[in-house]
Amino acid sequence: MYLALDLGVKTGWARWEPGLSKPVSGVFDCGAKDKTGGYGGRSLSFYGWLLGKIESFGVTHLAIEDELAAISGKQMNRGNEQWQPAQHRLCEMAAVANQIPYQKIAMQTWRKHYLGRGQAPKGTRDSRAWFKQQAIGRGRLLGWEPKDDNEAEALGILDYFRATQSPSYALQTTDLFSRH
């Protein structure tokens, strides 16, 4: 069973396993920082939630967006900029503790696969917003119902990861055999 995460204060998640006709997905709100201004409570909440998902879903593979791509100077909400490195460490800890493979996927890599491009079109005023809308639209085109961009991006990460793990699924995602 695959679990893909789009990390952030609002973490999008998507899971797939053989037998499902489409991925199951949602969003986990990691909540506010501690009253002291730290991330201890948020970290405990996220780690507990992640361990619960791993156990209840029977996760065999974990895929997340690579943090270097996420914090490499791209426009990002300040809360996420400080929170994502901690989330990456917590994901790694959960994967190691449960002896499951853990893969980081570059943002441009999954976007190129899922959306057909890793960069926004020239002249796009807000590329971040453009990509978020594209991810939501792509998910809906595939018959999935992402409620927001966090869930849609987790579905994109999952779609790419699934294509790398399953040659027969990868064939379905090419332009020649695409599902749209």
- Residue-level pLDDT at 170: 62
- Residue-level pLDDT at 37: 63
pLDDT in tens, 142-161: 999 999 999 999 999 999 99
Rounded CA gap, 147 and 60, in Å?
25
pTM summary value: 0.86
Using DSSP's 3-state secondary structure scheme, residue 120 falls into coil
- Residue-level pLDDT at 173: 57
pLDDT in tens, 29-65: 988 766 666 777 888 999 999 999 999 999 999 999 9
- Name which of 1-5, 24-28, 117-121 the model is least confident about: 117-121
Give the amino acid at 159: D
- Residue-level pLDDT at 167: 72
| Residue 36 DSSP code | T
pLDDT in tens, 100-129: 999 999 999 999 999 999 889 999 999 999
Q: CB–CB of 109/115 below 8 Å?
A: no
- Residue-level pLDDT at 19: 86
Look at residue 12 and tell me whether its pLDDT is greater than 80: yes
